[in-house]
Amino acid sequence: MILRIPMLNRAQPLARSHSNAQDHILAERKRREKLTQRFVALSALIPGLKKMDKASVLGDAIKHIKYLQESVKEYEEQKKERTMESMVLVKKSQLVLDENHQLSSSSSEGNRDCSSSNLPEMEVKVSGKDVLIKILCEKQKSNLIKIMAEIERLGLSITNSSVLPFGPTFDISIIAQKTSDFDMKVEDVVKSLSCCLS
């Protein structure tokens, strides 16, 4: 904003040609038009604007910008906090269904303690020569490669795999078959994969 102190000296009015004066009027008109247009555009961006006069538009625009900047600031702080503690926000609640499909909470019974589990979430099952590996991990392509490489390294032969993007994560399911080289316990497979992801 250019704040000028006005001169009140009108002793000698400036001589101006007709065309010049008209140009001046026109230019000023154009300027006002632009300003008014922007006032309208600005007011359109402010939610819950009641009074539409210029002063109110400016005032509420100021309030709204302050509010938005505050919001962004909060979000950024939250983001910083989150990256510090990885993905603790994953909230799980486990329910158990009995044969009549009645729901009952089993958090105290504790088949699995899910509340404390972090990513990667992992599950390995074995049925005969088949091995089923399920992993929920952060959405990074390097993770997928690491996992596959590790599985093959352990003496398993991948026969089928599925990678589904799910929110900020990959839901990975892999079917593998034991080769003659493979001689591990399930928990060691979990351990190895968990290690190579961290």
Q: Which of residues 50-109 bind DNA (CB under 7 A)?
A: 51-56
Give the residue among 117, 121, 188, 118 at the shortest CA–CA distance from 150: 188
In the stretch 59-78, what mask flags binding to its own copies with x, by CB under 8 A?
x-xx-xxx-xx-xx--x--x
Could you say whether residue 183 binds DNA (CB under 7 A)?
A: no
Is there a cis peptide before residue 120, judged by omega within 30 degrees of 0? yes
Q: According to CB under 8 A, which one of 19, 83, 142, 180 is a site residue for its own copies?
A: 83
Among 24-32, 93-101, 134-142, 186-194, the segment contacting DNA (CB under 7 A): 24-32
> Distance between CA atoms of 21 and 180, rounded to whole angstroms?
98
Q: What are 134's strand-pairing partners? A: 123, 173
DSSP state, 72?
H
A 10 A CB-CB count for 136 gives 17
Backbone angles phi, psi at 150, to 5 degrees: -65, -40
Could you say whether residue 37 binds DNA (CB under 7 A)?
A: no
Choose the contact partner of 7 out of DNA, its own copies, none; CB within 5 to 8 A by kind.
DNA
Residue 21: CB minimum distance to its own copies, A: 17
Choose the contact partner of 20 out of its own copies, DNA, none; CB within 5 to 8 A by kind.
DNA
Could you say whether residue 38 binds its own copies (CB under 8 A)?
A: yes
Q: According to CB under 8 A, which one of 9, 12, 17, 127 is a site residue for its own copies?
A: 127
> Distance between CA atoms of 45 and 140, rounded to whole angstroms?
37
From residue 59, alpha-carbon distances to 31, 43, 54, 101 in Å are: 22, 11, 8, 58
Among 13-21, 86-94, 144-152, the segment contacting its own copies (CB under 8 A): 86-94
Q: Which residues bind DNA (CB under 7 A)?
A: 1-4, 6-7, 9-14, 16, 20-21, 23-25, 27-29, 31-33, 36, 51-56
